Chains A and B, each alone.
Chain A
């Protein structure tokens, strides 16, 4: 089956001749595009720095470059090029990082992008889109491409098992379920496990609020604040280091709002995960729906010191 990302990007490219597709020899998600786009497709080879500089040059000429590489290499090898040549001048370059977080499976720590969201969000002017799956990605893509800001897209190609809200707004989370006992804030690949965990908790009679955050920068401030105010427990789920991830992002927000919240953070803290096939990683790292539900139940049962 054709990737919905490729077809969505092809459609956008065919309706706007400013769009150009770049890759540092990472073609997995865009194999059909060279034949369609001709000279508007550039494979620079394994040269992430040059690709970013080249994208900035194209953007100076009025183009909208969409640049692809593995998330770990795209965000770290050329970090300063992104910061200086794309972020600083706020050029409309879209960076698409593939196999982020757990999606890198058995590649090992060299390929584990677990700091990408924090790094990209840390650059002024940069915006960050973290879709839950292919359908979510395809829904958000046109909005992100048409927005004049530079963006980092944390590419997740997990098949969709949930029908997402087709109404997409930058800075708006998708409220999947609403409730008052516990709020689960999640983005990216672990949305599926968080969604199933929410169903397990709801079956136990808990009232669960589940947010698919979608854009991390800008983040849906109101939805996060509402979650902190209204529920007994805030659960942050991500396949990312804690530094620069949701604990940092939500923490900043609560501090600005002078709020506190009981919080359970689920992620990788300050360590890399055990490499393996996705299902095995989820099991070993206690990220299966049953694991998440159990960890949330335990947190709810622990007496609050507040």
Chain B
């Protein structure tokens, strides 16, 4: 990848992370899960998906379904930065006068479907991918799932069907941050060897660093070639990526911070030393 492009993406991701951290003030948000997939969403919307911010519902477009849902602050931030709606609208996070609540919904421009109940949107994405193919469209469907979400049987059921239907226009991206709500995934329902599971399900499977834009380019480039089976990108990520004081911690999933703590976290995001956080950890919803 061109180093200038990578620098632009990094700058964009930094702005999105700042938005996400601000959403942890007041009522809070699922901060850890949002920061782990920020680079993935920035990469996908900026480099991979063909979706027009001025006409996000154009029938002939690529689709991204955010299946785990609670990572939606990263999507709100990315969509706002890319012009789907004004950045100022992010200040209305959790306002009853807007629709920017803890889980995605279609009232927000660019959000394809509501989610938050885990294990739903892979099957919805299959329906969209099937119709795109039926109409002769070359568009693709990307479904972003969490690794904890892979506990759900409906994910594996849908993968069987996606394989049976030979959906070569479907890409599942796993935000492999290593945690589910309260625990490391391997401490509760172990998933490894994960890539081998997807391969055994007949998927073209690629593993990559989910925070390195060059690595993401290398992972996604081969998926542009025609194929007759779904693809899976297992993206290794870090929960809370970007702010070391909350990185890779089981107790920083849903976070609600004071304004002062948010300011400290923003300074930390921009290179200052770790923020001193007093707010209660592990406010599980």
Residues of A within 8 A of B (CB): 39-40, 42, 44-45, 47, 49-63, 65, 80-81, 84-85, 88-89
Contact = CB atoms under 8 A, between A and B. Distances in A.
Nearest to B122: A53
A58 B124 CA distance: 8
B120 A54 contact: no
Most buried by B among A39, A54, A55: A54
A149 B128 CA distance: 19
B121 A61 contact: no
A57 B127 contact: yes
10 contacts: A45-B164, A47-B158, A50-B126, A51-B123, A52-B123, A54-B161, A56-B123, A57-B123, A61-B128, A81-B123
A33 to B, nearest CB: 16
B114 interface: yes
B131 A63 contact: yes
Interface residues of chain B: helix, strand, loop or mixed (majority)? helix
Residue of A51, A57, A58, A61 ringed by the most chain B CB atoms within 10 A: A57
A45 B161 contact: yes
B123 A54 contact: yes
Contacts of B125: 57
A88 B122 contact: no
Contact of A56 (B127, B157, B160): B127
Given A81-B120, A84-B117, A57 B157 contact: no
Contacts of B11: none
Contacts of B121: 53
Contacts of B119: 49
Nearest to A63: B131
A60 B128 contact: yes
Interface in B142-193: 154, 157-158, 160-161, 164-165
A13 to B, nearest CB: 14
Nearest to B128: A57
B120 A53 contact: yes
Given A60-B124, A85-B124, A89-B106, 20 more contacts: A40-B134, A47-B158, A47-B160, A47-B161, A49-B158, A50-B123, A50-B157, A50-B158, A51-B123, A52-B123, A53-B126, A54-B161, A57-B127, A57-B130, A58-B131, A60-B112, A61-B59, A62-B59, A62-B131, A81-B120
A47 B157 contact: yes
Contact of B126 (A54, A84, A89): A54
B132 interface: yes
B113 interface: yes
Given A47-B160, A80-B117, A56 B154 contact: no
A58 B130 contact: yes
A53 B128 contact: no
Given A42-B165, A80-B117, A49 B157 contact: yes
Nearest to B133: A39
Contacts of B124: 53-54, 56-57, 60, 85
B134 A53 contact: no
Contacts of A50: 123, 126, 154, 157-158, 160-161
A53 B132 contact: no
Contacts of B164: 44-45
Contacts of A39: 134
B160 A42 contact: no
Interface string B97-126: 000000000100000111001011111111
Most buried by B among A49, A51, A63, A81: A49
Contacts of B127: 53-61, 65
B161 A44 contact: yes
Nearest to A52: B123
A81 B115 CA distance: 11
4 cross-chain pairs, A with B, having the tightest CB-CB distances, nearest first: A57-B127, A53-B123, A61-B131, A54-B127
Given A57-B126, A57-B130, A58-B130, A49 B114 contact: no
Contact of A88 (B114, B132, B160): B114
A258 B193 CA distance: 63
A193 B161 CA distance: 42
A67 B11 CA distance: 47
Nearest to B65: A57
Contacts of A65: 127
A89 B114 contact: yes
A296 B125 CA distance: 52
A269 to B, nearest CB: 32
Contacts of B130: 42, 54, 57-58
Nearest to B134: A39
A44 B121 CA distance: 16
Contacts of A55: 127
A236 to B, nearest CB: 35
A47 B153 CA distance: 11
A84 B114 contact: yes
